Amino acid sequence: MGDKKRILLGVSGGIAVYKAAALTSKLTQAGFEVKVIMTESACEFVSPLTFQALSRNDVFTDTFDEKDSKVIAHIDLADWADLFLAAPATANVIGKLASGIADDMLTTTLLATTAPVWIAPAMNVHMYDHPAVKRNIRTLYEDGCRFIEPSEGYLACGYVGRGRLEEPEKIVRLIQSHFLSEEGGPLTGRKILVTAGPTVEPVDPVRYFSNRSTGKMGFAVAERAAEMGADVTLISGPSPLSDPYGVKVIRVQTAAEMLDETLSRFDGQDAVIKSAAVADYRPANPLAYKMKKQDGPLSVEMERTDDILKLLGERKKHQLLIGFAAETDRVHEYAMEKLRKKNLDLIVSNNVAVEGAGFASDTNLITIHRKDGSAAELPMMSKKDAAEAILLEAAALLRAES
């Protein structure tokens, strides 16, 4: 990312301060320069010395403690930052900032900065859901602040719900993505459409046919494409995964819905990466009412769904088209056959019978097959790293076409 980017981290008082210490460490390890401002309450949880050791910079806690007589500290810090991150941000700090109150080092510097301001709330689930807090967040969003939504989980107060500070690793990735997009990644200016997850094909209002896909691979591709500068649209079947940062997400249920949403956007794309596990068959006559249990066997008449990838291959003009092939045997042979039949530019195969390479796994073992018959066989890696390998291959093809 060129010269070191400068992160000003504002830490307010809550049990999540310990996560802010981990965040400081991870940001420093990722190559950012970090300076920390702490509120008086934050110092009750963790000593400023901890943040000083982790950031290798002075920690600021008092508006009137001018460490350098040549500058006014809060103005100098406000001008220094490339990004101002308040994490954890308590309801109190969010309320003060929304009201324009500057009564300590953190709020004074926040009001003085012209850098992008990101806020990562952390508080009790009921506090986060309070109308006043929601109103303050909405005000700050309209003022141009951006929020890293808290995740759900077990809170220190004993409740389970939304309110936990997002994990430091995720925050670091979001910051890296922000600066990569600013500088221009290998997919800057490109429009990428990704499909992900399973489809569900109803038998009746309570039963359906589906598959084991979770959408993890497609979501990883969409997230990494956005980090590499692309304008990304993700069309996903039912998946428990959260929307990737910086990605437009469209949620669908059936194969027919996925087809409609994909075709309606296809012409404007530079590349389409179809990782969704779309049902090949659906019930021919889904019922409008719940089917009652009967004695003996049950037969459900099935009909073919439209082959989305084949239709895209027939319609493509300038688009780069990438498909996936989940196989259990003769992987290269079947993948190349699919590439030729469906007029693809690349196909990514994986042997789902191999441990760590199947649905729901956080890792994948992929091979990228090209039109000329060559292939890049990659070792077992995280789905995020696999996504990057696929996208770098796509970026090279897009550059060659240009």
> 170 with 198, same domain?
no
Residue 26 in marked binding region = no
pLDDT higher at 158 or 293: 293
Mean pLDDT for the stretch of residues 1-28: 90
CB crowding 266-305: b at 16 or more within 10 Å, else e: beebbbbbbbbbbbeebbeebeeeeeeeeeeeeeeeeeeb
The whole domain housing 147 covers 6-178
Statement to judge: residues 193 and 238 lie in one domain:
yes
Whether 397 is covered by a domain: the verdict is yes
Predicted pLDDT of residue 227: 85
Q: Are residues 235 and 285 in the same domain?
A: yes
pTM above 0.75, yes or no: no
43 is catalytic: no
pLDDT of 180 reads 66
CATH number of the structural domain spanning residue 218: 3.40.50.10300
219 is in an annotated binding site: no
- 373-390 pLDDT, tens digit per residue, is 988 888 888 888 899 889
Residue 152 belongs to a domain: yes
SS3 200: coil
Residue 290 among known ligand-binding residues: yes
Nearest to 320, CA basis, from 385, 402, 218: 402
Does residue 316 share a domain with residue 174?
Answer: no
324 is in an annotated binding site: yes
DSSP category for residue 387: H
**What pLDDT was estimated at residue 155?**
44
Q: What is the pLDDT of residue 156?
A: 54
Q: How many domains does the chain have?
A: 2
For 217-226, 342-351, 360-369, which range has the lowest pLDDT when averaged over its residues? Answer: 360-369
Query: Of 178, 206, 233, which one is at a domain's C-terminal end?
Result: 178
Q: What percent of the chain has pLDDT over 70?
A: 94
Pairing of strands 248-251, 6-11: unpaired
Tokens found for residue 349: 């195969």
- Is the confidence at residue 402, as pLDDT, over 80? no
Is 1 inside any structural domain? Answer: no
Residues 123 and 222 in one domain: no
Residue 58: give its domain's CATH number.
3.40.50.1950
Q: Read off the DSSP letter of residue 363.
A: E
**Assigned domain for 137 exists:** yes
Q: Do 222 and 354 sit in the same domain of this protein?
A: yes
How far apart, in Å, do the first and last CA atoms of the chain sit?
25
H or E, element range at 171? helix 168-183
Give per-residue pLDDT as tens, 86-123.
999 999 999 999 999 999 999 999 999 999 999 999 99
Sequence-ordered list of residues with C-beta below 8 angstroms from that of 95, at least 6 positions apart, any chain: 132, 133, 136
The Cα-based distances of 218 to 139, 177, 241, 373 in angstroms read 34, 18, 11, 24
Catalytic residue among 157, 160, 206, 287: 157
Give the separation between CA 146 and CA 149, rounded to whole angstroms: 9
Residues 208 and 157 in one domain: no
Compute the distance between CA of residue 161 and CA of residue 113 in angstroms, rounded to an integer. Answer: 33
Query: b vs e for 203-222, b when ≥16 Cβ sit within 10 Å of the residue's Cβ?
Result: beeeebbbbebbbbbbbbbb
